[in-house]
Every structure is written in C-alpha cells, then in structure tokens.
Structure 1
C-alpha cells in the first residue's frame, strides 16, 4: 500500500512520498496502527538539505528488500525535524542519552506508546537490515526488556527541568564568558574548537557588543579580546570556502578548522543570523578598533552579498524565505560549487584563469574531491575591477550547472530572523529593496501563519501547515517585527509583536520564570522540551528574552521586562561552563547592561534627515536598543512615541532609558553623543 506523505507540505516528506516504505506522517494514526498490529514504531527524522539523510534514503528507503522488512516488522514514521522541532528535540535527547551523540538522519525504535528503546543515526544498508531483524526479534522474544528500557528513558527525560532563579547577568558574568571563549578560540583561523567548525553567528553578536561596551564610543578604539575574536572569526569565514565567493551566503559548517571545505548545504537561519552579525560588525568606522579598514570593507561586502543571496535564491513567490538549499547536485555533494583549473580556463581563458586560480586558491591537486577546489579568497585581489569581472563570469557559468534542490517551506522562526536582519541591513546600507523584502516576509507570516492569535510553524506555496508554532517561532517573529517597526515606523508591526509576546507569556511559562519550548495546549509528547542553550539558532528561551526586553523598552511594560529577566536566568550558569552554547543569551545580557536604551526618531516620513537619524541609531546604539520611528503628529499607540514631537519642524531623536529621556537632538552627531552618554 502506498505511504501517506503525498499531501504533506514539507518538501522533505514529499521526497519520500514515492518510497516503497509505507511511511506515515507523525500522528496518532501511526501509533494506533502499531498498537493494532502489536509492532514497534520506527521513527526516522531528518530534513531536506541533509546529505546523510539522502544517502540513507538511497541505500535503504528506496531499496525494495529493505522496505519490505520495514513494512513487515514496523510501523514507519517519517518526520521533518524543521517542521516538528518538538518531536526532534525529545527523541534527540533520548538518542544522545543512549549513544552519547546525535545527528541526522536520526533513527529511533519506539513502543506503540512512543517510548524510545533503541536509537541511532545513519546506518549503512547491510547494518540497517540486520538491525531491523534484531529489533524485531527482541520485540518478539524479549519484549519486557524493551518496555522497561523505554520506561527508564521516559522517566529519566520527563523529570523536572526548572533551573534555579537567578538575577539578570551582571557585568562580571559577561566578562567571565569572554575569558572562557578565549580559552577555546582558534587564534590561527578564528572560530572556536577544532573540526568540524560551525559559524558562531550569535557569539559574533555577543562579542561585538562586548567590544563596543568596553570602548568609549567617541574615542579612537583599540582591539579588545572580544573584538579580536569577533573580527578574526568573521574575516576567517569570509575568506574561506565556507563562504560562497561567487554567489554569497554561508554553508552550514566547515569540515576542517581552516574554514576551507564546507558541508555545502545552505540554511536560511545561518545566513539570517550571520547577515545580522556582519551588518553590525561593519556598521561603524574602522577606528573603533573592531577591524582594519580593508577587513571592515570585506565584512560590509559579505553582509550585502549575503542579503542579496537570500533575496535572490531563497525568496519564494509569496514573499517568504525558503528553508535551505541542498548540499548535493547530480548525486554528489558540492558539485555545484567547486572548480578545477581546466574549468576555469574553459570559462575565462588562460590569463584570467591564472588570475582566478591565484585569487581563489584553485590548484591542480584541489582542495576537494577529484582534483576540484572550493573557492577561497586566498588574498585580497590586487586588481578589483578584474576580480569583479572574473567573478561575474564564473557566476554566470555556474548558473548553467544543475542547481541544488531547494526546501521551499517557510518556517516562521527563521523568517523572523530574516526579517530582523534584512530590515537593519536595508536601513544601514541604504537599500530600500532589502527593507521591502523584510516587509513582504513579515506580511506573509502575519497573513498565512497566524490563526486566532496563534502561530502555525510552516507554510508552503501560501498554504499553512498543521504544526503548531513553538517558542522560537513566536520569539524570533516578534524580534523581526520589532526591528521592522523601528526601520519603517509602521505601528502595526509593533502591535503584532506584542500579541505574539503576550501569547508567549500566556502559554509557554513554566511557573518558575522560565519558558517551555512548546505551548501548554500543544501535543503532549513523552517529555516537554525546555532547552536553554543556543545551538544553530537562538534557543526559544533566549530569543524570547531578547524580544521581551526590546518590547519592554518600547512600551514601558514591567511585566515584559520581568519575564525577560526570568528567561535569562540560565546565563550565569552557562557563561563559564558552556559559553559557546549561550551566544544569544549572552548578547541579550549585554542589552540588559545597556538599559536597554530606546530611541524615538520623529519627523516628516519623506525627510531624508529622518532616515539619517535612524541610520545613526542603528550604527551607534548598543545591541538590544529599542528603535521607534514616527511622524511626530500621531503616535500610532506606540508608547515610546507619545509626546515626541519634532523640534522646530526638524527631524528629532529622543534617547531614553526606562522612559526617562535625555534632551532631544536634531543632528546625527548629537544623537551619537547622546548614545555615548555625553
């Protein structure tokens, strides 16, 4: 009988709709069938851009003999981890507890009640076939042992998770985190740890904020430990193969410590977070000590190119942003991106090919497989005009290759990250097209994903999925809407952010000041996830803390401020012991130290001086500053704008903290001085 994935909105599930495996989507129907047949459930979790998910699919799920065993012995459930992060979280925790490691594809054998009793990740076909037979035999002959194992796992993972309440992070706590990061920093290549090396996007934001706090804004700066780590990492990645030197955008991670050879999948969330970090790092003059002039120019270029790549390659026809691009083309990982010297000569001719080979470090031996090389910016081009011409020619030629597949489902959380990044980059770089892209994505989420004030996590082709939004969806979307309000002055975005955050407070609280990752009326799993650590994306908890803090500064709401501080309780515990996994929480801690500030800019919407004051605020205000823009006549029911009027008809900025405001200013220089505390 055919599997049941053909109506899914997830491209990952649709990839498996024609498998000979009789897949079920996650849901009660699958577990009821397992109880009826009295067989275990095999839960296979992955995502569309996952290379090893494709390998296991080709080896096992498309193989008739393997599928026959799976169908006879199990009820088989296929899960898109991006669509159901709650299901992924509870089974990943079980997998890590049982095996000491995790990853995707994740393979879980569970009882008909969903309790996991055997877990793993990728299995080669022969191993997988033996495993299927072994688990089925154990279920038949030693079922009591498996049931007891499942009970032990459920009991261990469903206990109380509440962390002890703690005050907001103090200056000493954040400084301690920097010291911990110094010990793990790769001074030769940037980044933290060894291989594989992931882009530490949220740590870049924290370290940049820490550096800026350490320097008076109005004086010439010197490098700080935080600034050196931020700049060293950002420049190392920008020059490495992890960055797409032709088309822009970052790959998921590098398999080596030098950032040379990436795992080629490209994720929306990575690039949205990195765009925001690179924008912030490049927004101030080089004399502030964060980067040398040529490095700052590189960071600025990478930020704009990443934004352009997001809009060009990930934007959907409905105005949202797709989740990812695949790593594989033509059955090979990275084939779309790598080059041989012969391919350079074919496209460019001998002289330009020799120039390109020097600039991009393309050698006969290659840095990748079969003599091909991943393009790096081995050295700043001595002839920028020639570099631009060669780069454009290679990009045109690459467009004729088979393009990577695109997972075009729209995820609310990741689109929220994109909205925030594009709105700020668009305003700072004077790119209204980027602000327009942010607005279109925000409008799509509000129009399609919001039902009765609650969020649906995904959509595809303008059709909402069925999975309820989790905490990160509410928090990241609220963050994006607040950033978009600050840039555009459209009050509705601030109000919609407030509604999402009110839903967070009503449905996600744990009663102890913390937050669960799933709502109180969401589907009940064997445990309710509550992870305070930042990984590839901000944890729901730290993302909520950031958005709640900004909203409190915008509105003066003590309720939201108190909730933000409660959500930040784990920071003191994580700062020294696991700083690498608390980047956004630490960055939000920096915002707490700054007040956070709030800036209201008012004036005629068509006055360029208003735009310049907004850019000045984005350039010089500390991380987490709440920004609001208005016409000075109507406040749109945004509390920060109430009573703020232009001075003598001129564009005017008010810098406030706790709704106590300094004297208004009408020039960018005056605003910078106000933000510096002068």
Structure 2
C-alpha cells in the first residue's frame, strides 16, 4: 500500500498546474510565521494552516503529540509554490485536515539549504524527481516517508488521508521504511578519504572535456537540451581551460554560448539582469524569476570573457546586469536582496508569470512609432520571438553590423536608436505592477555578487564597481561577521538569526580574497583567512578530509551533509578547496595545500563521466597540473602596477602587493627605495624581478 502512495506522489509531482485568480489579502487567520523575517514565510503567515518555522521546539512538540511532520519547502520567487498556496494552503478545508493531523512546518529553502538538501535527496530517492514546492511527510523525529512536489488540491487531500490512515494503523511499516530511507540518505552522502590516489592529470582532463563536449549545442550554445540553465561555473572553467591550453574550438563554444545567452530572452534587454533559466533550446522564454545567485557569477563570467576577447557585447552585459542589481536588489546599507518573483499582476489583476516583461506587437508599435520597424527586426517581433497569447519576449539572432547594413545605418546610430527604444519601454514598464521582491540578505549570495563586482572592476576598470564592492564588503563585515569570524546566514530589517553554512564561509572568503587582490588592503586578506580558519575549526571532517555543510555548533539533522557537486552555485567544498590552494601559495607552511589536494583526490573519480557536474573542481585540476603564479608587487607604485597586471586574465595566479613589507612572506625583504619591482614566483621560487605590468604578464603567458 505504501509503495502505491509513493508512486502516486510521482504522478502528482508531474501534474501541470492551472492559472489561479489572486484572492484579496485578508487577515482572518494568522499563524506563527508572522514572527519570521523571510518574505517567503511571511507570504504564508495568514494561511489558515497552522504553519511553524523549522525550530527545535517545534520538533520536540511533534514527538510529544505523536504527530507526523508535514514539511513544505519553497522560496519567494517560486511560481508553483504560489500556485499550491492558492489551491491548498489558503483553503480552509485543507487547512483543517492538516492542522488536526500534522505539525506543519514551512521552510524557506534559501534560508535553510541544510534542511532542503536532505529532503531533496529523500524525494529523489523515493520518486526520481525533485523540485519546489517540496512537500515531505516525516516521522516526528524528522525521518521522511513520503514526498511530492506540486500537488493539486483534490490529490493533496486524497494523499494526506491515505497517509494519516497508514500512520495510525500501520505505523511499524512506515517506521521501517523511514529508517531505511534515512539510512540511504546518509549513505549517498558519504565521501571516502582516498589518500593513496594519484591526482587527476591533464590527459584525463582532456578526455573528460572531450566526452563533455559531445553534449554541447554548437549552434545555440549551452547543452543540447531544454530547459537550458546557464551554469556559469561550466563556462568559467571552459574559458579557463581553453585559454591556458590553446583550445580554440572550446573557446568558440564558450563565445557562442555567451553570445546566445546575451541575445536571448533570458537576458532582460530592457532592465538588465538574467532570469533563472530558459524553458526552450534557444534561450528565448525564461522562467522569469531573477535571482542574485545567478547574476553574481554571470557578472564574473562575462567580465572574465571580456578580458580575454574584448567583445563589447560582454561588457554591455556586465554593465546592464550590475545596473539591474543596483536598481532592483540593493539595500541602502550596501547589502543585496535575494530575488524578484517570476509572477506579477497582469492588466486583469491576476498573478501571471512574466506579465511584467512581455509585450504585444500592438503595444510596441504604439510606443516606438517610426523606430518600430527596425526594433521589430532587431528583437524579432515575429514568429521567432512570439511566446504565447500574442505576447513577445525580446530575443536577438543577428549582430549589430548585419542590422545596421540592412537599414543603411552606422552601428553607433543603430545602437542609439535601440537604446532609445529600450529606454521608452523601460519607462512604460515601470508603470506596470512589479514582481514581488524577496528582500532578505543572504551571506553567500552577497559574496557571489561581491566577487562579480570585483571581477567587473578588475577587467572593465569602472571605479563605481569598486565603490559598490567596498560598500557591500563593509556591510557584510559589519552585519554578518562575529568577532571570532563566525557568520550569520541571513539579514533582514537589522535582524540576523540563522547560523551560516559552509557555503557562506567559502564564498565570502573567496570574495574577500578577490577584493584584497584589487585593493591590496590587508584587512580583506585578514578577513578571508579568518573565515577559512573558522571553517577549518568547525566544519572540517578529519575522517573524510572534506568539510561538512553545517557547523559542529549546530543541532544535528538526519545527517551532516558533505556537498561536492557543482550545481548552479559551485559546491561549498570545491570553493573551499580553491581557497585553500590559493592560501597555500601565500602561507606555504600552514598545510593548506595538502588539504586542497586531498579534497581533490576524494572527488575526482567522478570527473571522467560527469565533468559538467564538477566544473569548479576542474579549475583545481588545472591549478595542480599547470604553473600557478604568485605575483608580488613591492614599491611606491605598487597599486598602479598591480591594477595594470590585474586587467589581464590570469586565472592560475594570485596577486599581492605593498609599498614595503606586507602580511605574507612573498612581500618580505623585497623593497628597494625609489623602485617598484614585480616578482613572479612559483611555489616561492621567483624569477628575476621586472618593473612593468607588461613584462610581468609576459613572464606568465609566453
């Protein structure tokens, strides 16, 4: 019987939703979520369901009352989360059943990725599918025994009734199943310490990339599938690999992908910034939510690609993406908000995905007047750009030169016309009902955007980006970091109450190290190292040689997860391993290099068949197998020469600088009065010093 229910869950999770009318906000009901700060949790604070947040005392109460847990996980920008809320959680009949028979817990997966990881693994083991909303039924101790994603009302009621009956009448079978499932959830997360392994070598890496390349879409970019996710860590690694190993065919694939993403509807041509993913193969129709954690790494990727290619399109993408973040996702104090919703109110007052972003041909014609004909060609207001219901999503498929020649215009004149048209549309779009903002501030996501700003400043040279980066870095320093380098995960309205996870420590340490490289302000180097040392003390697993996702100070869940797969955000362990290797170059006697090497050995067995799932790790393979340069700039002109060096794309390097002696051995006893010298070193062994950025870069690129 229980197996039958699990199979039903799979079918239900695949069921497509229907358009729902927006009910007026009422306050007939208020539950415990009213005391939370997460916008997602607050969205559910007036549901008739007696929702609770994930807290130890709530789990204890479930044990005392002997009620199963109903755990529903989502996030503020999630379209299907909103649909299920309207259909089920705002329905009093459904709520009564849930309240009588379950302890109901709502979780913002962005605040509590530790819980989300475990239950996502559970549903994938049960059904082979996953997604959000993620709905789990578990024993009072948290062990899951049923799961589904989106479920329509009738099927939700039916499923819950069957589960209640099973829980009351056949408890032993449920307990056995939940125990076995929990053991499986723990087992799939184990990482073996492979101390006897040799390092993944360049020949193996070449073979891995060759196999990976069979899945490339050579015409439209990305991979041969739909939906298409941008996966910036994939293209960041391939850019690194292509440049340092002279692989022009791979560089072409990177360029095709970056161009097509920038041309596509997934990029907001009017307001800047990228949406979550494209539902089709040509990057046309996005899932319209905009996430900070996408736009930060994409800013880094396009900045680095611009450093290599000097392609003006990439520079424009960086500029528009940062402008979007500055306009829509920036707190007055310097923090960055999390996301904009996919849904907004349409002209009928109904929530509709993409309503804020799409246009009819008639609207465009009326707004743009004489320039509409060129605009129509430029952004494909035709069958190629048509989405549904007469709505168009702007998408390019021709470059500026081709369009300009067709209309006997110069490229600058064409760009001026298109920019003017986009400005008209932006002015009009602002009058529409805007997507909801998730204004919580998350440490790791802010770290990703901080790194994006650092890269944008480094490679584009815009001082405003450094100003934004410093304001954000100082906000995080002030609001998120304790005196002992412990971190908070979240911040909202001056409040931070969730302990940070490994992702937060790894990402922020990486961002601060990057900020040090472009400022030579020792404070950021100190903070980067302090965060890494705290993570070593409280997250490191001596048995596996990896880092747990949760601190030893936090209450244990079913397992302490070890995250190794690079997804939309690179895995916390891969980021930490890269940080360790870079700090080994600065502090060679502290054991960081051995730790990074061991972490690489532990996961490298999967590289041959699954390169794209370990893309950030593969950067470490390049670091270990090729020359990695320590660059030290010492002397009165150190900031100017350091800035000139940093304009070059040198992924296998770390840059330090000071006027005289500095905080690391590389900067010690190298000062010569009246001179500025650049030392290019490998594992502390330095070549003869040079005095210009050009000469220094030449030593690394010959």
TM-score (norm 1): 0.93
2:660 to 593, 609, 633: 633
1:606-663 Cα shifts (integer Å, max 9, x gaps): x6x8435424334132x25212232x1342x23332234367434x432222122222
Which residue number in structure 2 is paired with residue 301 of structure 1?
A: 316
Whether the aligned pair in 2 keeps the contact of 1:365 and 1:371 (CA below 8 Å) is: no
1:525 to 545, 552, 557: 557
The answer to whether residue 691 in structure 2 is matched with residue 672 in structure 1 is no
- Runs of 4+ in structure 1 over 4 Å off: none
Which residue number in structure 2 is paired with residue 316 of structure 1?
A: 331
1:418 to 423, 428, 449: 449
- Partner SS, residue 450 of structure 1: coil
Following the alignment from structure 1 to structure 2, what is the Cα–Cα distance between the partners of residues 380 and 60? 48
- Partner SS, residue 398 of structure 2: coil
The answer to whether residue 419 in structure 2 is matched with residue 394 in structure 1 is no
The answer to whether residue 566 in structure 2 is matched with residue 534 in structure 1 is yes
Following the alignment from structure 1 to structure 2, what is the Cα–Cα distance between the partners of residues 378 and 669? 38
The answer to whether residue 381 in structure 2 is matched with residue 362 in structure 1 is yes
Following the alignment from structure 2 to structure 1, what is the Cα–Cα distance between the partners of residues 425 and 470? 32
Following the alignment from structure 2 to structure 1, what is the Cα–Cα distance between the partners of residues 454 and 688? 28
Following the alignment from structure 1 to structure 2, what is the Cα–Cα distance between the partners of residues 9 and 640? 46
Which residue number in structure 2 is paired with residue 78 of structure 1?
A: 106
The answer to whether residue 674 in structure 2 is matched with residue 645 in structure 1 is no
Following the alignment from structure 1 to structure 2, what is the Cα–Cα distance between the partners of residues 50 and 234? 26
Which residue number in structure 1 is paired with residue 397 of structure 2?
A: 378
Q: 1:110 to 1:634 in 2, by over 3 A?
A: same
Q: How many residues align?
A: 652
Following the alignment from structure 1 to structure 2, what is the Cα–Cα distance between the partners of residues 172 and 253? 33
Whether the aligned pair in 2 keeps the contact of 1:655 and 1:664 (CA below 8 Å) is: yes
1:335 to 355, 371, 386: 355
Whether the aligned pair in 1 keeps the contact of 2:519 and 2:639 (CA below 8 Å) is: no
Which residue number in structure 2 is paired with residue 249 of structure 1?
A: 273
Q: What RMSD over aligned residues (CA atoms) do the two structures have, in Å?
A: 1.9
Whether the aligned pair in 1 keeps the contact of 2:577 and 2:599 (CA below 8 Å) is: yes
- Matching of residues 30-41 of structure 1 within 5 Å: 30-41=58-69
- Partner SS, residue 582 of structure 1: helix
Whether the aligned pair in 1 keeps the contact of 2:459 and 2:646 (CA below 8 Å) is: no
Shift of 1:86: 0.6
Whether the aligned pair in 2 keeps the contact of 1:620 and 1:675 (CA below 8 Å) is: no
Following the alignment from structure 1 to structure 2, what is the Cα–Cα distance between the partners of residues 527 and 126? 34
- Partner SS, residue 464 of structure 2: helix
1:506 to 537, 544, 559: 537
Following the alignment from structure 1 to structure 2, what is the Cα–Cα distance between the partners of residues 575 and 228? 23
Following the alignment from structure 2 to structure 1, what is the Cα–Cα distance between the partners of residues 416 and 83? 42
After the TM superposition, which of the residue ranges 240-249 and 592-601 deviates more from structure 2? 592-601
TM-score (norm 2): 0.89
Which residue number in structure 1 is paired with residue 258 of structure 2?
A: 234
Gaps of 5+ in 1: 216-222, 287-295
Gaps of 5+ in 2: 1-28, 346-350, 405-413
The answer to whether residue 592 in structure 2 is matched with residue 560 in structure 1 is yes
- Partner SS, residue 455 of structure 1: coil
Which residue number in structure 2 is paired with residue 115 of structure 1?
A: 143
- Partner SS, residue 454 of structure 1: coil
1:255-292 Cα shifts (integer Å, max 9, x gaps): 01111111011111111111111111110346xxxxxx
- Partner SS, residue 568 of structure 1: helix
Shift of 1:77: 0.2
1:81-139 Cα shifts (integer Å, max 9, x gaps): 11111100111111100010111100000011111000111111111111121111111
1:430 to 461, 468, 481: 461
Q: 1:418 to 1:557 in 2, by over 3 A?
A: farther
1:484 to 515, 534, 538: 515
Which residue number in structure 2 is paired with residue 578 of structure 1?
A: 610
